[in-house]
Every structure is written in structure tokens, then in C-alpha cells.
Amino acid sequence: MFIIKNNGKIFLIVLLVSVSILTFCGKAYKSNHTKDVDIYDIVKEAFLTDKGYSEKLSKHMSQEVFKYTNIYNAYNVNSPEYTKPFKVSFGLKEDSQKTEDNITYVKMTYSVTIMDSQNKIIGGSAGVPITFTVKTIDGEWYITEKEEAA
């Protein structure tokens, strides 16, 4: 009985130390990975909007970046073989940020599938890496470039 109680105490101590270490490491990891800019919502809207380049987007993104990001510009949705409304499946994940001299490089990965109302696949991509160049001036950020593997 004495051996079980001692082993139980040792187990409890090891468990508490392990949880403490994991908690500390998790907090340290989060504090070292703060974002310089949060572009997620604007980038997602740029990909998915069917209303074109808006005033809201123009505050944070050039028209050229929008043109090459928007799925309605990238896929042949105006072909007579496809019927509206379209169904879009979209995923976007931020992978990392790196800032040098008020320029932040935001690496993201996206996946998209676009189908017409008859379930014909118009196009799509999966797990595509993309990097946005973001300039920050007086606390305001603006996406100036987009780089995507061809």
C-alpha cells in the first residue's frame, strides 16, 4: 500500500510539473507570434465578393491586387455553360508574418472550389500558398502586392 501511495504522489507531482511547463511554453509561443497587421477579413472579402472593387477594399488594397485575387475575375463565371447562382467553398489560413522597415509580408494558404447551380465545377485550387506585401504608414496598412505560385 505504501508503494502505491508514493507512486501516486510522484505521478501527481510529475503531472503538475508537466502541465506547468506546457502552459508556460504555450504562453511564450503566443507572445512571440503577434500580428503586425490583420488583413484576413479584407483578403477574404477580396477573394469572395461578387460586387467588384469597393470603397472598403480600396482603403486597404490596390485595384490590381484585387483584380488578381477575386475568384470572379480568376474563373470563367460568365461562360454561357454555367448557371447562376454559384456555390463557393473557400478556406483561408494565415501561416506567418514577417516585417522589415514598415513592410509586412503575410504568408497565407487558400483553397477554393466554385460550382454553378447545376453542380458543374467552374474551377478551384487547393492548398495554394500566397504572399501579400503590406505597407504600413502612420498606423494604416495597405496591400500593395500579391505573389502566388503559378
**Helix (H/G/I), strand (E/B), else coil: 65:** helix
Q: Which amino acid belongs to residue 134? A: V
Q: What is the pLDDT of residues 26-57, one digit of tens each?
A: 444 433 446 789 999 999 999 999 999 999 99
Contact 148, 118 (CB under 8 A): no
Q: Where are the domains of the chain?
A: 1-31, 40-148
Beta-carbon count within 10 A of 87 CB: 12
Please state the pTM of the whole predicted model: 0.74
Q: What is the pLDDT of residues 42-101, one digit of tens each?
A: 999 999 999 999 999 999 999 999 999 999 998 999 899 999 999 999 999 999 999 998
Contact 143, 132 (CB under 8 A): yes
Compute the distance between CA of residue 145 and CA of residue 69 in angstroms, rounded to an integer. 10
**Cα-flanking dihedrals φ and ψ of residue 35, to 5°?**
-90, 140
Compute the distance between CA of residue 77 and CA of residue 84 in angstroms, rounded to an integer. 9
CATH architecture of 40-148: Roll (3.10)
